[in-house]
Amino acid sequence: MANAVFTTRLSPSYDDVPEERYHFPKRYLPAAQAAVGDWIVYYEPRRAGEGANVKAGKQAYFAMARVTAVIPDASTPDHFYAIIEAGSFINFVSSVPFRVGDDN
């Protein structure tokens, strides 16, 4: 088992429903498989709107959940779903910023 960070946007380009499933391409398969049975943290990037140039996201960690399985996406080649344990999704009371102040 391993901890992981799943990145999702306000308007995801993937078929994400954070409380139920996380949709991702094959390049992330080893990391997602390693997280099965463990907790992951959700992160909202700065580019979180329509298109990659919209900088509307919080750039913060906002929730956590436990991954129970990773399954292939039957409708999209080379894509998969990380299945989230029912009832394990926890929204943080306050988002945790990626960066505080001007420190890099």
CATH architecture under which domain 4-97 falls: Roll (2.30)
Residue 80: phi, psi to the nearest 5?
-140, 170
What is the rounded average pLDDT for all residues in the chain? 85
Q: Model confidence at 100, in pLDDT bands (50, 70, 90)?
A: confident
Q: Once rounded to an integer, what is the mean pLDDT over residues 58-82?
A: 94
Higher pLDDT, 50 or 28: 28
**Lowest mean pLDDT, pick from 13-17, 52-56, 84-88, 90-94:** 52-56
Question: pLDDT tens across 34-47, in order?
Answer: 999 999 999 988 76
Q: Once rounded to an integer, what is the mean pLDDT over residues 16-43?
A: 94
Contact criterion met (CB below 8 Å) for 42 and 69: no
